[in-house]
A and B are shown apart, each in its own frame.
Chain A
């Protein structure tokens, strides 16, 4: 891709938006272009409709419903717009909620700028982006525990051993390239596995997945 990725920034903290904008513009070398930003759900929905960005960097925690609400309102109208959740929240229920609402990835706000550029390009290319933390959440959610609910659709409700391997390495902080060489597969295959895990996370009907996220901290 030679064109700059057109990015729209949604966060209710103006200071944070300014920081991300400055960092992305200085470090990405023209690969990423911020075409607009919004500080509220309503602004975001209007701005995305008007500017049709390729990628929306979306804060999870906002007044009036947060990132999930933006996703719900934009998603059906503009299926081509890709969302990358960016949050300080560690709370599993928030992270899983935006993923289930349709985000293509989740990274924490402490991510380095170059990694963020990488993540933006990756979701713009249609791949999924899993931070180590999200990988951990998903592994945990799909874990086979005693007393787990019956699996209604193995296609969606179970991770393959290979997908588990990939997720484990992601959680250990490995980059895609490192995962590929560790498992003797191509980077493309790693991407396919991660996308498949994302799809399962979004569509699985497993009772665990919704319940898990809410009572994770009560264990």
Chain B
């Protein structure tokens, strides 16, 4: 009759050769539920124990593939389906740009997922202990002995037979390992009330501390560093002015240095009549005009202002600037379009100073002249 709480019978050997011979015999006798513990990996043990190859690789493969698919799907959905964004003039679904991210997510999912799978399936995670832990047997085999343990659950198990087998193999020490109280009840420590309360406490403390750090502490002196400064920022209150506003209007009738007010807002035709190009074209001015035109105008208008956009249909192409309409426009009329925008074209007043706008206009004139040359240009 076996003991009720017997887990296994163990035997200790002195050399790796002995343990390999012991494994061979145990395997031959037909035991299946046994394990070997050695202080270091003994070569050839897997084949002697007839262990099947690990299945962990399949989990890694499946998790890696799901990581790749998930990353690609999410980038497709977020960048080209739900909220399409033009980035660097690339297509919405820019596969080469997505590959590094896909690769990273694949590796992350495969490695983290494999570790978690190993913990759950092989270490049976909710169980934090193993019957062999914290026994004299384990202390010996993690030091200088080679041990084998045949479990009581094995269908061929019989303590007398196992003891005799070990004696015949010349085991230096034979012992028994029993389940302790917790392991018999099969109630894993992880669901212990105290442990769960500990987890909840930890969660509250960590989230409270991070909330305090990021929302309160960083705004206190001296941690606010450069966030608080002795100056009036946009929208802020001012004690200095009687109305309390930090932002001021310019004094009536004044103009800021280096700026010229645009007087024809909403009146492009009037601008066409009144505004005169102050610049006289020369090589230098045309060179600046070409640089600015190629930078700001050519993506939509094309390098030669023919309306051949490089945007692959992400926006409607603008009409050619070589039409009779544009050629007959005065410089001031074109200036009005560049300053205020027209139809889908936005204002370029932020990107181009008034002088630069006039320079671009002169360059556009040169382009128009090149396409529609007059008779006497050819002489």
Whether A associates with B in a native complex is no
